[in-house]
């Protein structure tokens, strides 16, 4: 039977990305913090297609993802390393492709102790793995990255200053500057995506801690009344714009990963779901550790 995929297309145009999106695999163990966690990863896998071929052999994509995942059955591995293995295997299986790209995304839940009461809560986190592979003279070369998305909260410093000035008309003395006055708060999602150079290790939990420290306050699934009050007071006493959050995240990446090479690339993203507006606010920044190293000393 003739292989239609290998026929010359009507227009001889090469394609950068062709593949499958949204491939769900059985529960996998991923290394996160001090122990493995369950997640149901969703994979996107792509290769480039030369101008001489009509289409890719799409079934091979699914087969490759399934084969790699099967090797991690009842074992724990890092999501970005799983993506890297898939990216390499795609080029081995698709001899006509020169580049591949794989992205995986899965939600996991980790234990977190509430700072004030000491109670234990289970917090969700989105974990992201990425990998790129390309053919070189020496063989297949790869690059990988890991990322996390975590929710927290911010308290608006602008509205807080307005309320403080208004209160000064009724209260006199330095106490006014110390009171945790009212302002509007936002649910904020912070995301960090960072390259992991060859020979280096990175526990994604470190990225979670960077994001949580950058917020006005972390948020929790389980909160008693006293916990709620303390979190509100902490957030209002630590007001931040989304711009402040992303700058703190950048500083945290550089300080936490000081031993990483200057060429290590990363990107930060903050989305603030505004409470008194019908729109959201977004801040983004990307660069290398070397670019920001001198700015955070």
DSSP string, the chain: ---GGGSPPSS---EEEEEEEEEE-S-EEEEETTEEEEE--EEEEEEEE-TT-S---HHHHHHHHHHHHHHTTTSEE-HHHHHHHHHHHHHHH-TT-SEEEEEEEEEEEEEEE-TTT--EEEEEEEEEEEEEEEEETTEEEEEEEEEEEEEEEEE-HHHHHHHHHHHTTT--SGGGGTS-----EEEEEEEEEEE--TT----HHHHHHHHHHHSSEE--S---HHHHHHHHHHHHTS---HHHHHHHHHHHHHHHTTTS-TT-EEEEEEEEE-SSSSS-EEEEEEEEHHHHHTT--
Query: What integer is the mean pLDDT of 222-245?
Result: 86
Mean pLDDT of the chain: 88
pLDDT for 297 equals: 67
Q: What is the pLDDT of residue 208?
A: 95
Q: Report pLDDT digits (tens) over 48-81.
A: 999 988 888 888 999 999 999 888 766 778 899 9
Mean pLDDT of 184-194: 94
Is the pLDDT at 279 greater than 60? The verdict is: yes
Q: What is the pTM of this model?
A: 0.88
Split at pLDDT 50, 70, 90, the class of 105 is very high
Q: What is the pLDDT of residue 82?
A: 93
Residue 220 has pLDDT above 90, yes or no: no
């Amino acid at each position: 039977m003739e292989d239609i995929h290998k026929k010359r297309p009507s227009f001889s145009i090469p394609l950068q990305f062709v593949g499958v999106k949204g491939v769900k695999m059985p529960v996998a163990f991923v290394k996160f913090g001090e122990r493995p966690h369950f997640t149901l990863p969703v994979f996107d896998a792509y290769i480039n297609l030369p101008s001489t071929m009509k289409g890719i052999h799409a079934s091979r994509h699914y087969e490759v993802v399934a084969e790699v995942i099967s090797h991690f059955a009842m074992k724990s591995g890092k999501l970005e390393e799983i993506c890297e293995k898939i990216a390499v295997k795609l080029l081995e299986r698709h001899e006509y492709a020169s580049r591949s790209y794989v992205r995986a995304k899965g939600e996991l839940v980790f234990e977190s102790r509430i700072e004030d009461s000491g109670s234990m809560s289970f917090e969700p986190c989105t974990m992201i793995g990425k990998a790129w592979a390309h053919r070189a003279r020496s063989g297949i070369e790869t690059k990988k990255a890991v990322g996390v998305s975590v929710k927290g909260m911010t308290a608006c410093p602008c509205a807080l200053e307005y309320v403080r000035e208004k209160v000064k008309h009724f209260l006199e003395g330095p106490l006014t500057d110390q009171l945790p006055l009212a302002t509007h708060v936002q649910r904020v999602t912070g995301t960090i995506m960072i390259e992991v150079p060859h020979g280096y290790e990175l526990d994604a939990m470190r990225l979670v801690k960077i994001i949580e420290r950058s917020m006005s306050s972390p948020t929790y699934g389980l909160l008693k009344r006293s916990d709620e009050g303390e979190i509100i007071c902490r957030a209002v006493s630590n007001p931040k714009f989304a711009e402040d959050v992303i700058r703190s995240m950048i500083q945290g990446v550089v300080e936490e990963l000081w031993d990483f090479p200057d060429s290590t690339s990363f990107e930060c993203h903050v989305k603030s779901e505004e409470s008194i507006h019908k729109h959201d606010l977004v801040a983004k920044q990307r660069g290398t550790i070397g670019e920001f190293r001198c700015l955070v000393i």
